[in-house]
Amino acid sequence: MSETALRTILHADMDAFYAAVEQRDRPELRGKPLLIAFDGPRSVVTTASYEARPFGVGSAMPLALAKRKCPQAIVVAPRFAQYQAVSAQIFEIFGSFSPLVEGLSLDEAFIDLTGTDGLWGSPARAAQLLKDRVWQEVGLRVSVGVAACKFVAKVASDLRKPDALVLVPPEETVAFLAPLPVSRLWGVGEKSLPKLHALGLRTMGDVAAADRAWLVRNLGSHGPFLQDLALGNDDRPVVPGREAKSIGSEQTLMTDVRGRDALWPHLIEAADTIAFRLRREQLRAGGVRVKLKTADFQLLTRQARIAPPTSSARVLLELAAELLPQFDLRLPYRLVGLAAWDLRSADEAVQPDLFTDPARQRDERLDKALDAVRDRFGHAAVRRASHKQD
């Protein structure tokens, strides 16, 4: 810890990012409650503007419920391409403060400011400067937390949102965390919270002060892990270049579906979309992940590696077909998703398979032909024959 104890980590989190971009671009939406979602009977809120939040509306809530809670809210369809473009602008600003920027999503990043005092002055100055630049250059507000480790920085940025700047000097870390509820600890969810409460652990201070052996007895290895966090001991480094971790495509369905045959057309659609994006961005994927959400909102995922890495929709689908039986297909599902992960540049050498079906190579040519048509006429211009049924 001796080296890492002196780190300065900044966590930047855009405030209601998608909603804020819409309000920036469309002045008539400013000051109004906004729900970013595709307007359908079964869609989910991706972001709610701060004006909508007092009504108890938040992201991941079914749109129908959000509309009941906040009937005056305006529903705006998301424009992901625009959010990506704005995100790139923001990350450029982040990158000008330090080369060590670890993107967690389009609107959230860790920035390691260790040793940048000479450039930007104190951590407080650097944080204010970053907020000012995002506001002046992009026109959006960002909440910032600065601390000696990732965990505390993230807790800090979230504490007084929106437009917050919370600085936690290293020596005040333990006192800062002590009064906060255990629910803010990393890895504490619906399951572990009642358990912690039953043990009399309500604040991080309780966890920090607990006897370590007692924690192990009652919580297993999770106990000391939580205590380390509660003491602000988190030496995970900021790992740059993580922004494009995966490319995914998912769909919340109009009605819950059961069984392979009902899920399959959506996976075909997703594989085509993902493969197209992989090729457009000159990438290949070394892994694929199938994601299903049950009717009662349980998110289930199964993943596998692909060798050699691919940008072929057919290969993605082959893997998806192998993963699908690992789910309980008798259950009703409300969301189907597919994602490609372990992305790598398409000009990296690949190891072809000895027994590869020559059909695969034909397929790469087919994919390229499809892309050419789509580039001219749009994505919906061509679909595989296997789509015809729907």
Q: Which residues are catalytic?
A: 108
Q: Which residues contact 189 (CB under 8 A, 6 or more apart)?
A: none
Residue number, 2 or 221, with CB nearest to another protein:
221
Beta carbon of residue 367, minimum distance to another protein (angstroms, whole number)? 17
CA atoms of 288 and 317, how far apart (whole Å)? 9
Q: If binding is defined by CB under 8 A, does position 307 make contact with another protein?
A: yes
**Cβ atoms 236, 154 nearer than 8 A:** no
Beta carbon of residue 342, minimum distance to another protein (angstroms, whole number)? 8
Beta carbon of residue 307, minimum distance to another protein (angstroms, whole number)? 7
Distance (Å) of CA 324 to CA 17, 57, 153, 301, 345:
34, 33, 39, 10, 27
CA nearest neighbour of 44 among 23, 29, 58? 58
Q: Give 168's DSSP letter.
A: -
Residue number, 190 or 347, with CB nearest to another protein:
347
Q: Which residues contact 365 (CB under 8 A, 6 or more apart)?
A: none
Beta carbon of residue 323, minimum distance to another protein (angstroms, whole number)? 10
Residue number, 26 or 344, with CB nearest to another protein:
344
CA atoms of 139 and 132, how far apart (whole Å)? 9
Q: If binding is defined by CB under 8 A, does position 163 make contact with another protein?
A: no
Angle at 149 between CA 9 and CA 131, to 5 degrees: 30
# binding residues, another protein (CB under 8 A) = 14
Residue number, 71 or 355, with CB nearest to another protein:
355
Site map (CB under 8 A) of another protein, residues 322-361, x = contact: x---------------------x--xxxxxxxxx------
**Cβ atoms 11, 110 nearer than 8 A:** yes
**Cβ atoms 59, 45 nearer than 8 A:** yes
Site map (CB under 8 A) of another protein, residues 263-292, x = contact: -----------------------x------
Residue number, 212 or 344, with CB nearest to another protein:
344
The pairing of strands 283-294 and 9-14 is unpaired
Beta carbon of residue 289, minimum distance to another protein (angstroms, whole number)? 16
Give the residues lining the site for another protein (CB under 8 A): 286, 304, 307, 322, 344, 347-355
